[in-house]
Amino acid sequence: MLVFGAVTLHMISRTDEPGAARLDVLLFASGVGCLAASLCWFFVVALQRSLIWSLIMVIPLVNTLALPLFARAYWSQGARAPTLLAMVGIAGELVGSLRLMLSSGPQLV
């Protein structure tokens, strides 16, 4: 919960522009927060399973490729909840990003 809150707050402060729709900024920021919390949760589950999986989870880009394999292998052993959280985060980020990009308001950098 701390990771989700901290990342969401940080992303809101980084992407909030005057004139931007608050819902769009919140969707985007909470999507990023869900992904960060999911990655931390995957790391904890991987640490309980083996040291190799936990090391893979901390390597950027490699963890993105390994997460689907890990989630499928350990679905019934603790990987279900972080997988669903990541899916919700991706959906929120996608909707928020599309709404921000398609709005006629100011462009975020």
pLDDT tens for 64-109 read: 788 888 888 888 888 888 888 888 888 888 887 787 777 755 555 4
| Distance from C-alpha of 42 to C-alpha of 58, rounded to nearest angstrom | 10
Total structural domains within the chain: 1
The pLDDT value given to residue 77: 85
* Domain interval for residue 47: 2-102
Q: Over the range 13-34, which residues count as b (16 or more CB within 10 Å of their CB) and which as e?
A: eebeeeebeeebbbbbbbbbbb
| pTM of the predicted structure, to 2 decimals | 0.73
Residue 107 inside a domain? The answer is no
As a whole-number percent, the residues of the chain with pLDDT over 70 amount to 90
| Distance from C-alpha of 31 to C-alpha of 100, rounded to nearest angstrom | 13
Contact between 64 and 56 under an 8 Å Cβ cutoff? The reply is no
The pLDDT value given to residue 63: 76
Residue 109 inside a domain? The answer is no
